[in-house]
Structure 1
Amino acid sequence: MQKSSRLAIYALIELASNPERQISAAEIGAKYRVSAHHLAKVLLTLGREGWVQSIRGVGGGYSFTGNAKRLTLFDIISVFEDTNTSCKLDDPSEATDEEWVLFDVSNEINDIAMSTYSSISIATLLKQVERRKKVAMRDAAAQDA
């Protein structure tokens, strides 16, 4: 997965976790240790998709405007990457049996990955983040005891 796709997913998770709040690119960038400038470009793209809204001025920033239950990882990734990454044979007419087998397996793996990305929504990721936070809190409490 390319960096822009990851940044878009991080930003959308951050914004969707509190959709009423405006969050600056600098604040999101600081949390994920990335340039606010690079993140602003990603957020501009997300705005064109209708998933975030930019509010200018003091107290401004970005807010989530998408549908967390319907917005999938595949939707996001496909904006930033070519998701038709099927394996290619240099010359199919001269391909060996081994080349064809690797071709078939690679395409099957790609199909499974794309199907998985299509089944995971931002809402699902938000639930997983909350579960992870609860486990971390429980582990910290156990260490303190």
Structure 2
Amino acid sequence: MNLKMATRHALFAILELADHPRAQISSAQIAEKYAISPNHLSKVLRTLVCKGLVEAIRGAGGGYSFVGNAKRVTLLDIILIFEEIGTPPSHKQEPGDDTAEGQALRMVMGEIDAISRATLSSITIDTMLKISRRTPGIGSAVHAL
């Protein structure tokens, strides 16, 4: 599954903010860490603020903080803010849809969508943070040499 750029930015921002729950982190710090466009990240953060997952703190020492519950917010919750996944197939007839093979393909694709949704809804932000702490990054591997 490929995610849109905005979705990836949102996931990185949420993970960074949730990993530092008592800190206010600037969008510039997040953008620098993940080598992403500060301009695009700012738009994503505004959306996350509107959805009530992130709080913006203005002024000196301000930034953003995660206000969701890391043990309850799932990857699916965040992804659905920016993408449509597992949506029911359109009623538009495509060539081959009226064949047994076309119907079988639609059924299989529907099952894949259902599995994707179920998996994404079972992985919380807290779980992702635990996984990321166990997974050494490129920087960690370089420092270990």
Task: Name the TM tier (shorter chain).
Answer: 0.7 to 0.9
**1:29 positional shift:** 0.9
Which moves more between the two structures, 7-16 or 52-61?
A: 52-61
Aligned residue pairs, count: 141
Identity %: 45
**Matches of 1:38 and 1:138, distance apart in 2:** 29
Task: Name the residue aligned to 2:106.
Answer: 103
> Hey, what's the Cα distance between the residues in 2 that align with 1:140 and 1:29?
22
Q: How far is the alpha carbon of 1:133 from its aligned partner?
A: 3.3
One-letter amino acid of the counterpart of residue 120, structure 2: Y
What is the distance in 1 between the residues matched to 2:7 and 2:35? 15
Cα 1:38/1:67, change in 2 over 3 Å: same
Residue 118 of structure 1 pairs with residue 140 of structure 2: no
Q: Give the TM-score of the pair, scaled to structure 1.
A: 0.86
User: Offset at 1:125?
Assistant: 0.2
Runs of 4+ in 1 over 6 A off after TM superposition: none
* 1:59 paired residue number: 61
**Structure 2 Cα separation of the partners of residues 83 and 138 of structure 1:** 34
Partner of residue 49 from structure 1, selected from 40, 48, 51 = 51
- 1:130 paired with 2:133, answer yes
Query: How far apart, CA to CA, are the structure 2 residues paired with 1:103 and 1:13?
Result: 34
Which amino acid in the other structure matches residue 55 of structure 1? I
Which runs of no fewer than 5 residues in structure 1 stay unpaired? none
Give unpaired runs (5+ residues) of structure 2.
none
**CA 1:44–1:139: 2 relative to 1, 3 Å:** closer
Q: Identify the match of residue 3 of structure 1 among 5, 12, 23.
A: 5
After superposition, the Cα gap between the structure-2 partners of 1:84 and 1:112, relative to the gap in structure 1 and judged at 3 Å, is closer
CA RMSD, 1 decimal: 2.3
